[in-house]
Amino acid sequence: MIELIPAIDIIDGNCVRLTQGKYDQKKVYSSRPEEIAKEFEAMGLKRLHLVDLDGARVGHVINLGILEKIAEQTSLEVDFGGGVKTNEDIRQVLDAGAGMVTAGSIAVKDPGLVGDWIREYGPDTIILGADVRQGLISIHGWQEDTSLGVLQFIQNYLATGIQKVICTDIATDGMLEGPSMDLYRELRKSFPEMKLIASGGVSGMQDILDLEEIGINGVIFGKAYYEGRITEDDIVNFLKSS
């Protein structure tokens, strides 16, 4: 069964959503992200994708306090991303209660360091973050595009033992128009053993079922829930049926 992974994105301590990663297209949904996390836990969800958008933009972790609150007040397994660039960053994030860390920009800029993290903390802890725009990896909070193709990016990490990849198609993110199914089919075919987590574009439960049908292991959703396209009942019923 595909794993449902709700997302909480943080700017200035608030739970927000962007459209296509554009910081000037921000909508605030809550000033208390820990309360949103409690809602997800009450539905029966076990996992949370927490993104420090401030940290992603400036290049170092900013919203560590939010992570600490969520870890203290819920039993959700948190995967944290955004601004993790150094050994000290990753230690702080794990000490604050994250169970997993997503390596995005740093995985492009310093693959040797991320390879060290995978060996030290294990492939269950380190997730490769592949943020894609028109097939190419984007970094620094999606503010900078690279010339590195997503397939090559993931291929480069196979020798490290990486087992989990979150792939976000930036063009679809926050648009509520459906995920990039062709991209995920290609990734599933190219990396049959990888645990693939799709992110971006989910507009309702049917999209989640479609991703499950093609063999995607997990799906991150945010705006569809915050805008009422996916309801609490939808989530509870899906979990019951599994």
Which residue in 35, 37, 40 sits closest to 236, CA to CA? Answer: 40
H or E element in which residue 7 lies: strand 3-11
Q: Which of 58-62, 152-156, 170-174 has the lowest mean pLDDT?
A: 170-174
3-state SS assignment for residue 232: helix
* Torsion sign over Cα 110, 112, 118, 121: negative
Domain count across the chain: 1
| Structure letter (DSSP) for residue 45 | -
**Which whole number is the average pLDDT over 161-171?**
96
| Residue 56 near residue 104, CB atoms below 8 Å | yes
The domain containing residue 105 runs over which residues?
3-241
Q: Tell me the average pLDDT of the chain.
A: 96
Cα–Cα distance for residue pair 113/151, rounded to 1 Å: 20
Q: What is the pLDDT of residue 155?
A: 98
Assign residue 151 the CATH number of its domain: 3.20.20.70
Whether pTM > 0.75 for this model: the answer is: yes
Contact residues for 52 (Cβ-Cβ < 8 A; gap 6+)? 10, 61, 62, 63, 66, 67, 80, 81, 82, 83
Query: Active-site residue among 9, 54, 173, 210?
Result: 9
Catalytic-residue membership of 9? yes
Q: Which of 1-5, 16-20, 99-103, 197-201 has the lowest mean pLDDT?
A: 16-20
Contact residues for 32 (Cβ-Cβ < 8 A; gap 6+)? 15
pLDDT grade for 140, boundaries at 50, 70 and 90: confident
* Torsion sign over Cα 220, 8, 163, 200: positive
pLDDT grade for 21, boundaries at 50, 70 and 90: confident
Query: Active-site residue among 52, 54, 79, 131?
Result: 131
Catalytic-residue membership of 89? no
**Which whole number is the average pLDDT over 129-157?**
93
3-state SS assignment for residue 31: coil
**Which whole number is the average pLDDT over 76-80?**
98
